Amino acid sequence: MTAFLQRLGAGTLGITERVGRGHLFLLHVLGGFPGLLPRFGLVMKQIYASGVLSLLIVAVSGLFVGMVLALQGYNTLVDFGATESLGVVVSLSLVRELGPVVAALLFAGRAGSALTAEIGLMKATEQLSAMEMMAVNPLHRVVAPRLLGGIIAMPLLAAIFSAVGILGGYFVAVGLLGVDEGAFWSQMQAKVDLYEDIANGVIKSVVFGFVVTWIAVFEGYDAVPTSEGVSRATTRTVVHASLAVLGLDFILTALMFGDE
């Protein structure tokens, strides 16, 4: 009985300690943000690594998600003779939910795992300790640019995802299914609000970018410096970041759209 209690207590303490370490880590990294301004090239490289290199997968996924949404929405709406609303269905689901969420999931898989592996390997090969020896703070030099790069790249990726998805939906709806082109755009414009829908979608994607990148860099920095530890940390990044995105999405949606 006491053994069970002890294990439970140890587990809880372990989790709490890790959460606390993650937040202290974040605090130190955020302290490095002002120092990045004169050396924006560092951030630029990270935007390239996590943003530009994720561009293809995000754009292609967005295209297909938009096309599938149009196909499925058409099947339901055609029963009510309301196929003109297809533009609203596609654009609202993309801008409010699917754009930020799916882009963040792809971002966690494509860029987050790479960040964890990179930083974990830096730790395993003692590059981080070497930096400390040279009085360079690795949190400021290595981690901060990656976090800022992720925060900048993610909303852009989500916007590209939504825009490409709406174009994909447009091609399927107007080109393939014969929905009226004018009604497709005008209904969309009548129902989608700049602040209510698009601005909230952008806020969501900024939050997701922050959380995913934070989890990724922390897992990498906190990894056990062996090849097995790095591989575990990479897996944990993808799992935890995806769960965090989906959970946060529910909370954000309830806060933003819940009072309608």
Partner 1 sequence: MMQSRTVQIWVGLFVIMGMAALLMLAMKVSNIRAFSGEEGYVITARFENIGGLKVRSPVTMAGVVVGRVSKIGFDKEIYEAVVTMNIDPRYDNLPEDTSASIFTSGLLGEQYIGLEAGGAENYLRDGDRIQLTQSAVILEQLIGQFLVSQADK
Q: Which residues bind partner 1 (CB under 8 A)?
A: 41, 44-45, 47-48, 51-52, 55, 80, 91, 95, 153, 155-157, 159-160, 162-164, 166, 185, 188-195, 197-198, 202, 260
Least distance (Å) from partner 1 to the CB of residue 82?
8
Least distance (Å) from partner 1 to the CB of residue 68?
19
58 vs 245, which CB is nearer to partner 1? Answer: 58
127 vs 189, which CB is nearer to partner 1? Answer: 189
Least distance (Å) from partner 1 to the CB of residue 147?
16
Which residue type sits at 138?
Answer: P
Pick the closest to residue 213 from 33, 14, 13 (CA basis): 33
38 vs 41, which CB is nearer to partner 1? Answer: 41
Which residue type sits at 153?
Answer: A
Pick the closest to residue 115 from 59, 34, 45 (CA basis): 45
**Token digits of residue 85:** 């609303």
103 vs 139, which CB is nearer to partner 1? Answer: 103
142 vs 153, which CB is nearer to partner 1? Answer: 153
Least distance (Å) from partner 1 to the CB of residue 193?
6
Least distance (Å) from partner 1 to the CB of residue 211?
19
- For CA atoms 230, 235, 239, 241, give the dihedral sign: positive
**Cα–Cα dist 26/44, whole Å:** 20
Q: What is the DSSP string of 157-205?
A: HHHHHHHHHHHHHHIIIIIIS---HHHHHHHHHHH--IIIIIIHHHHHH
